[in-house]
Structures are given as C-alpha cells and as structure tokens.
A and B are shown apart, each in its own frame.
Chain A
Amino acid sequence: MIYFDNAATTGVKPQQVIYAVNKGLKKYSANPGRSGHKAAVEAATAVYSVRQQLSDFFGADGPENVVFTLNCTHSINCVLKGVLRRGDHILVSSLEHNAVMRPLAKMGVSYSVFNVSFTDDAETVRSLKEKLRPNTRMVFCTGASNVWGKLLPIEAIGKVCSEKKMLFGVDAAQIAGVIPIDMKKMNIDYLCIAPHKGLYAPMGTGVLICRRGLAETLIEGGTGTNSVELKQPEELPERLESGTVSLPAVMGIGAGLDYIKRLGTERVYSHESGLIKELYHGLKSINGIILYTPEPLMGFYAPVLSFNIEDYPSETVAEWLSENGVCVRGGLHCAPMAHRVMGTLESGAVRLSVATFNNREEVISFLKLIKTKKITKNLKKAIE
C-alpha cells in the first residue's frame, strides 16, 4: 500500500507514539486533575509535561496556555465563538476549510475574504489590507491550503495584525510539525493544531494555544477547580477543558513531538518537499494530467499537491488508485472555497500528501501507475 493521504491523518504513527499511548493507558490510569492521590498527581504531571513541550516548541507564553481539545475543528470553534461578537468583522483567506467557514456561517458574523496569491505573497498581504474595515476585530486564516498546499505569509499577516491591533488566529492543521511556527515572533494570538497530522499523534485530540483570553466558552462543566462556583473558571487551560482530557492521546502527542524534534522540522520539510516536487514534475510530464499550481517550491508550499486526469471525476480516479493500492483523497476536501478559486468545484481534485515515512520508490511506483495507458481505459470502464 502507498499512503499518500497524510493531510487527512499521518498514516504511520512512529513506534514511540504507540508506546507512549500504551504507557498512558497502563501507567497513568488515574484522572489527571480531579483527585489528590499520588497516582492522580503523577497523571497530571505527565499531561503538564506535554503542555510544556508544546509551549516551548511553538513559542507560547507558558504551558498553562496550552489547551487540549477534541480536534483542530473544535479548537477553531473555541476561538471563533469565544472571541467574535455581533457587529464584529473578521477577515479570512480565500482558501479556508469548512472548519472556519461553517462556524462563521452559523454565527452570522460579518466576514470578508482576502485573496491568496499563488505566486506573490506581497499580493496576498495587499489584498488583506484592502479588505480591512474599522470594525475588523480579527484575521483568521489557514497556515497552508489543505488542497493546493500554498503556504500563507503568516509572519507578514501577523505583522499587519499587530500594527492594526487586531487578533490573529491560525489554522495550523497542515503546517504544525512541518513548518517552523513561533507564536511570539509571528504575532499569533490563537494557534489551532491537528496533532494527528504533522505531530504523528493519535486521532481524536486537538491542541489550542492561546496568547489571549477567550470571553466565551463552548462547553462548561467540571474542571476539578472551584466547584462551589457555577461560573466557568477564567484561567486557562481549565476554562476550555471541562471534562476529562484523553491522557493516552496526550502522551501520544508528546511522543510525536519528540519524534519530530529528533528528526528536525527543517529535515522533515525538506524530505517531504522533495517528494512533492518529484510528484509535480512527474505528473507534469504525463499527457492528460491537469495541475493547478506553479511548481511547489520550499518556503512557499506545504507538502500537498492536487491534480486531475482529463475530465474524469476526482473521486473515480481516487477509487481506481485505491483499487491499485494507493491511498489518496478525491473530492472537495471540506474546502469548497479553495476549489472555487481554482474552478474545480464540479470535479474536485485528487490530493497527494506525503509524510516522513514516504519515499522516492513510492513516488516512482505511483508515477509509473499513472503513466500506464490502462488507467484511462479502466477509468472509462469505471464510469460507464
């Protein structure tokens, strides 16, 4: 099997992550932050140490600002619904995932879309500035498109937000663990992370790192603090962590982060970028392949690439690839805005996304498969 669907979740979790999750289940079986016995405090200390690791890695203000959520979408909802009020205006990019757009649609908050240029980051920043209004409270944008891979100029956007005294939130689902992120340097106020992607952690837990407070909460409940008060605590992380966190998954996050730190983010990005570049050039040389972006250069693109084959529906191509042992995602990738930008709203696209365990041999095998004339014959058969 060739697994090129890492933008959905990294398909191979390192042994140390599996071990850490197991250890979380066996060794730290007490609830971290409810009782006062030794086992409970040890469990809480284990969770705290992962908060500390995440805080150091992403340039946060301290471990107490690292919140464990259900997933990245939950983190994004916490930010948007925690910050925005009636009458506020928010700027989002033209490539946002539904994790951002659906909450905004439900909230009925006023938003404008700034255009992301695929060739000129300065143009992206210009577009953002043009859309600013006097009541623009926040910019929330993806770090990289989950469809086209385009990296947004986060540091430059953060600078604008700082100058204009606006809040800045980032959906780091596709970049955490791949591209260096320093919240202080980039003026990021809220960082939403999908640890099961670039941090190789188990699915089912997200991370939200805050440098500012959140006025409203999504969920209220038991936090192990100040139980007499019916009011939700003000302080993070407990303010956003009602109920029990998934300690085994948190241990997995810590181990996944260790894995990435040991390899080095630059080395990871260089490896994955190299594979995507080879895929791009290989696909470009094949008749009938449609590519939509310029060459995905390092520093401008995350390791994600989407394409189509002639006018075949992307889901059909993805199904055919699956029958031949290749895992990819076809369709709209929960990001209709990104497809609207490229004119692929009808066809969708076939997405390739690589990780540390993918290699050149897999790229070569995939391109050989795509090159065979049998593909179009079989696709034609598949859709007849």
Chain B
Amino acid sequence: MTKFNTGSITYAIKGRDLLRKKGFKARIEKITSGKGGGCGYTIVAEGDGAVAGELLRKAGIKILD
C-alpha cells in the first residue's frame, strides 16, 4: 500500500480515478496531520507503488513530499 499526498481534493479524485481505471485499488483519505502542510488529501493505492506513482506524475498530478 502506497500513499500519495496530493494536497488538493480535486487532484486526489483525479488521481484516484486514474489509478482505478488502470486496475489499481485506490481510495482517498485525509493527509495525516504533520504532513502536507497541515491539511489536504492523500491517495491510498494498493499494488505496485512505483508504477502508480509514475502514472500519477505522467498525468500531471503533483505529489507532495
């Protein structure tokens, strides 16, 4: 399971839907406090995290540290 912090709910939904289309199980959670500047959303993806991350980056979805 890999977590991708997007910050924005809009990008989280875009990323979640993209990963689901590519066969990943993905859901959205709130960012854990202390990360992402205090507020925002994360995509939780099951499966190959590296592949998922690459798909998100290619789609222009900014992943926060």
Interface residues of A (CB under 8 A from B): 32-33, 35-36, 41, 44-45, 48, 51, 62-64, 223-229, 233, 235, 237-238
Contact-size category for B:
10 to 19
Question: How distant is A244 from chain B, measured CB to nearest CB, in Å?
Answer: 12
Task: Report B-chain residues with C-beta under 8 Å of the C-beta of A62.
Answer: 14, 60
Q: Closest A residue to B60 by CB, please name it.
A: A62
Question: How distant is B7 from chain A, measured CB to nearest CB, in Å?
Answer: 5
10 more contacts with CB within 8 A, not counting A226-B38, A235-B7, are: A48-B9, A62-B14, A64-B8, A223-B8, A224-B9, A224-B40, A225-B36, A225-B39, A225-B40, A227-B37
Q: Would A238 and B39 count as touching, CB distance under 8 A?
A: no
Question: How distant is A47 from chain B, measured CB to nearest CB, in Å?
Answer: 9
Dominant SS at the B interface? mixed
Closest 3 CB pairs of A and B: A36-B30, A226-B37, A227-B39
Q: Would B40 and A64 count as touching, CB distance under 8 A?
A: no
Task: Report B-chain residues with C-beta under 8 Å of the C-beta of A44.
Answer: 9-10, 13
Q: Would B11 and A64 count as touching, CB distance under 8 A?
A: yes
Q: Would A48 and B38 count as touching, CB distance under 8 A?
A: no
In the bound assembly, the distance between CA atoms of A32 and B7 in angstroms comes to: 14
Question: How distant is B33 from chain A, measured CB to nearest CB, in Å?
Answer: 10
Task: Report B-chain residues with C-beta under 8 Å of the C-beta of A238.
Answer: 8, 10
Q: Closest A residue to B28 by CB, please name it.
A: A41
Q: Identify which of A35, A45, A63, A64 contacts B30 (C-beta below 8 A).
A: A35
Q: Would A226 and B11 count as touching, CB distance under 8 A?
A: no
Q: Would B8 and A225 count as touching, CB distance under 8 A?
A: yes
CB<8 Å pairs between A and B, sample of 24: A33-B9, A36-B41, A41-B9, A44-B9, A44-B10, A44-B13, A48-B9, A48-B13, A48-B14, A62-B14, A63-B14, A224-B8, A224-B9, A224-B39, A225-B7, A225-B40, A226-B7, A226-B36, A226-B38, A227-B38, A227-B39, A228-B37, A233-B8, A235-B62
Task: Report B-chain residues with C-beta under 8 Å of the C-beta of A63.
Answer: 10, 14
Q: Is B29 an interface residue (CB 8 A)?
A: yes
Question: How distant is A338 from chain B, measured CB to nearest CB, in Å?
Answer: 37
Residue in A225, A227, A228 whose Cβ sees the most chain B Cβ within 10 Å: A225
Residue in B10, B29, B37, B41 whose Cβ sees the most chain A Cβ within 10 Å: B10
Q: Closest B residue to A49 by CB, please name it.
A: B13
Q: Given A225-B39, A226-B37, A226-B38, do A235 and B11 touch, yes or no (CB 8 Å)?
A: yes
Task: Report B-chain residues with C-beta under 8 Å of the C-beta of A35.
Answer: 30
Q: Would B40 and A226 count as touching, CB distance under 8 A?
A: yes
In the bound assembly, the distance between CA atoms of A224 and B30 in angstroms comes to: 10
Q: Given A32-B9, A64-B11, A235-B8, do A229 and B37 touch, yes or no (CB 8 Å)?
A: yes
Task: Report B-chain residues with C-beta under 8 Å of the C-beta of A237.
Answer: 10
Question: How distant is A50 from chain B, measured CB to nearest CB, in Å?
Answer: 12
Interface string of B20-38 (1 = CB under 8 A from A): 0000000011100000111
In the bound assembly, the distance between CA atoms of A51 and B38 in angstroms comes to: 26
Q: Would A45 and B39 count as touching, CB distance under 8 A?
A: no
Task: Report A-chain residues with C-beta under 8 Å of the C-beta of B60.
Answer: 62
Task: Report B-chain residues with C-beta under 8 Å of the C-beta of A228.
Answer: 37-39
Q: Would A233 and B7 count as touching, CB distance under 8 A?
A: yes
Question: How distant is A235 from chain B, measured CB to nearest CB, in Å?
Answer: 6
Q: Would A226 and B13 count as touching, CB distance under 8 A?
A: no
In the bound assembly, the distance between CA atoms of A44 and B16 in angstroms comes to: 12
Task: Report B-chain residues with C-beta under 8 Å of the C-beta of A32.
Answer: 9
In the bound assembly, the distance between CA atoms of A45 and B28 in angstroms comes to: 10
Question: How distant is B64 from chain A, measured CB to nearest CB, in Å?
Answer: 8
Q: Closest A residue to B36 by CB, please name it.
A: A226
Q: Closest B residue to A51 by CB, please name it.
A: B10
In the bound assembly, the distance between CA atoms of A226 and B34 in angstroms comes to: 10
